[in-house]
C-alpha cells in the first residue's frame, strides 16, 4: 500500500526517492528546510495537498511558481514531467498516484518516454 502523504505538492512521489528512503529527507510535506520552495509555500497557505487542487490554474504550467527556471531545470536534469504528475493526481487522486509511482518505482513521470 502506498502513502498519498508522500506525494509532493508539485507532483513527485517522495516514497521512491533515495534520500527519503535513507532517512535523509522527510518528504515534501514534512521538510521544513524546504521553506524556499514557492510551490510548497503556496499550497500550504491555500490548504491544498497538491497543485492538483488549485482553482486558479487548471494547467499548472500557467503558474509562475510551478513553471519557472528552477522547475524547467529540474525537469531536464531528472527527466521529470511534474505537470503530468499533477494531471495523474487529478485523475487518480493522491493514493492512486502514489500506488502507480510505487508500482513503477518512480519519483516522477518521465518527460520523455525513455
Spatial CB neighbours of 63, under 8 Å, sequence gap ≥ 6: 51, 54, 56, 57
Q: Is 17 in contact with 25 (CB distance < 8 Å)? A: yes
In tens digits, the chain (114 residues) has pLDDT values of 467 889 999 999 999 999 999 999 888 888 888 888 999 999 999 999 999 999 999 999 999 999 999 889 888 988 999 999 999 999 999 999 999 999 999 999 998 754
At residue 80, what are phi and psi to the nearest 5 degrees? -115, 135
Q: What is the Rg, in whole angstroms, of the alpha carbon atoms belonging to the chain?
A: 13
What confidence score (pLDDT) does residue 1 get? 46
pLDDT at 113 (0 to 100): 57
In the prediction, which pLDDT does 111 show?
Answer: 84
Amino acid at each position: 500500500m502506498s502513502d498519498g502523504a508522500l506525494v509532493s505538492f508539485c507532483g513527485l512521489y517522495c516514497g521512491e526517492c533515495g534520500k527519503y528512503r535513507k532517512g535523509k529527507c522527510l518528504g515534501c510535506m514534512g521538510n521544513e528546510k524546504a521553506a524556499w520552495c514557492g510551490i510548497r509555500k503556496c499550497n500550504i497557505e491555500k490548504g491544498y495537498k497538491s497543485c492538483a487542487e488549485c482553482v486558479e490554474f487548471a494547467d499548472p504550467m500557467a503558474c509562475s511558481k510551478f513553471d519557472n527556471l528552477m522547475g524547467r531545470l529540474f525537469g531536464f536534469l531528472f527527466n521529470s514531467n511534474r505537470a503530468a504528475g499533477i494531471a495523474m493526481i487529478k485523475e487518480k487522486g493522491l493514493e492512486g498516484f502514489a500506488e502507480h509511482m510505487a508500482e513503477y518505482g518512480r519519483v516522477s513521470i518521465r518527460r520523455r518516454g525513455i
